[in-house]
């Protein structure tokens, strides 16, 4: 019999962001008065280095009714388990990640396998800015101006063969850069490393699926997945793998890190679906973390496919989305 790991996302994590951001606001206020360092605010010098600007024209086809999430929230309230399981860990710890030099291997069932240096990869197609909502499985969401180009542009370049049915994404494995990958550092078991995610080929080729290299007019902060990640806006956030080193076209459905950890909780498809609850909490509503004060986070109804149903529902016609969660 398989020994099932304990579920990793704790139910407490789905309600604690108010408290968390209140503490941030308190620290920021204290800093204005007398210096955060004197108060022992957690900061890692490496994560504070100014980021290079990355300009891209906004694509007006991808807009959101809500204003963007404050940059401060989008870069200090993160899930990136390679840096630890707490929301503040990535911003605090991400200075150890070195996003240059960086190579991305694109391989598998393709006519032209190739390794791209990150600086060539960025130039493969025109960069554009798209405002997408990203809905975390923990029932919060953010509105972020991402910068990138459709993943399809990269995939077409390597010429997928008829055997390619799925695309597998693999995050860097390097305990020197990702402290939580060090064995024995944590008393509980987290995910199996490296982080692996996957999409069906048609999902990966869909024009909404963005190969992402920046946000808010800058290159990606380390804690958001530098130097390159995907953003798949109609799926729960964990499908959007960060700090990718390998993209492999395969014939079988990849085994993802979250499925291995808790298959009853995190399915392969993970399309945002208010009608299908997570076993431990509802997915019917979410808190959208926007620009407002903490007290203004609005709970809103979660939309099927996170509001992108018009564009993607047809990918799943005839499929039982309760079964393929």
Ligand X SMILES: Nc1nc2c(c(=O)[nH]1)N[C@H]1C(S)=C(S)[C@@H](COP(=O)(O)O)O[C@H]1N2
Which stretches of the chain bind ligand X, using CB under 6 A?
Answer: 78-82, 134, 136, 142, 171, 195, 224-225, 237-238, 240-243
For ligand X, the closer CB: 109 or 278? 278
Token representation of residue 281: 């909490």
Q: Dump strand ranges (E) for 86-165.
A: 103-108, 114-117, 128-135, 140-150
Q: Which residues bind Mo ion (CB under 5 A)?
A: 79, 136-137, 237-238
Q: Of 78 and 209, which CB lies nearer to ligand X in the complex structure?
A: 78
Contact 115, 212 (CB under 8 A): no
96: which 2 tokens? Answer: 């150890």
Residue 306: contacted member of Mo ion, ligand X, none (CB under 5 to 8 Å, by partner type): none
Helix, strand, coil proportions of the chain in percent (round to 5)? 30, 25, 50
State the minimum distance, in angstroms, from the CB of residue 265 to ligand X: 12
Report the residue number, 21 or 136, with the smaller CB distance to ligand X.
136
Minimum Å distance from CB 213 to ligand X? 13
CB of 200 to Mo ion, least distance (A): 20
CA separation, residue 73 to residues 142, 200, 206, 263 (Å): 9, 31, 29, 30
Of 166 and 193, nearer to ligand X (C-beta) is 193
Query: Who contacts 276 (Cβ-Cβ below 8 Å, separation ≥6)?
Result: 283, 321, 322, 325
Q: Which residue is nearest to ligand X (CB)?
A: 237
Give the shortest CB-314-to-ligand X separation in angstroms: 25
Q: Which does 241 bind (CB under 5 to 8 A by kind): Mo ion, ligand X, none?
A: ligand X
The CA distance from 130 to 124, in Å, is: 17
């Amino acid at each position: 019999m398989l020994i099932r790991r304990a579920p990793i996302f704790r139910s407490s994590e789905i309600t604690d962001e108010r408290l968390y951001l209140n503490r941030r606001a308190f620290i920021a206020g204290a800093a204005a008065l007398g210096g955060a360092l004197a108060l022992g605010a957690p900061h890692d010098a490496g994560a504070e280095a100014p980021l290079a600007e990355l300009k891209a024209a906004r694509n007006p086809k991808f807009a959101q009714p809500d204003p963007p999430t404050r940059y401060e929230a989008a870069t200090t309230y993160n899930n990136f388990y390679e840096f630890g399981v707490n929301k503040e860990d990535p911003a605090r710890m991400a200075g150890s990640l070195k996003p240059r030099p960086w190579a991305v291997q694109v391989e598998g069932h393709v006519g032209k396998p190739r390794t791209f240096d990150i600086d060539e990869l960025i130039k493969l197609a025109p960069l554009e800015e798209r405002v997408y909502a990203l809905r975390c499985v923990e029932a919060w969401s953010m509105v972020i101006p991402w910068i990138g180009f459709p993943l399809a542009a990269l995939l077409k370049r390597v010429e997928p063969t008829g055997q390619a049915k799925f695309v597998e994404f693999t995050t860097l494995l390097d305990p020197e850069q990702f402290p939580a990958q060090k064995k024995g550092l944590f008393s509980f078991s987290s995910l199996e490393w490296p982080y692996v995610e996957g999409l069906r080929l048609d999902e990966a080729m869909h024009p909404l699926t963005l190969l992402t290299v920046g946000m808010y007019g800058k290159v990606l902060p380390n804690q958001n997945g530098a130097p390159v990640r995907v953003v798949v806006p109609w799926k729960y956030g964990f499908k959007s793998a960060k700090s990718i080193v390998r993209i492999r076209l395969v014939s079988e459905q990849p085994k993802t890190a979250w499925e291995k950890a808790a298959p009853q909780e995190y399915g392969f498809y993970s399309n945002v679906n208010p009608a299908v609850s997570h076993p431990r909490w509802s997915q019917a509503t979410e808190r959208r973390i926007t620009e407002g004060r903490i007290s203004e986070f609005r709970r809103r109804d979660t939309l099927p496919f996170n509001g992108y149903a018009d564009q993607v529902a047809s990918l799943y016609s005839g499929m039982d989305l309760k079964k393929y969660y």
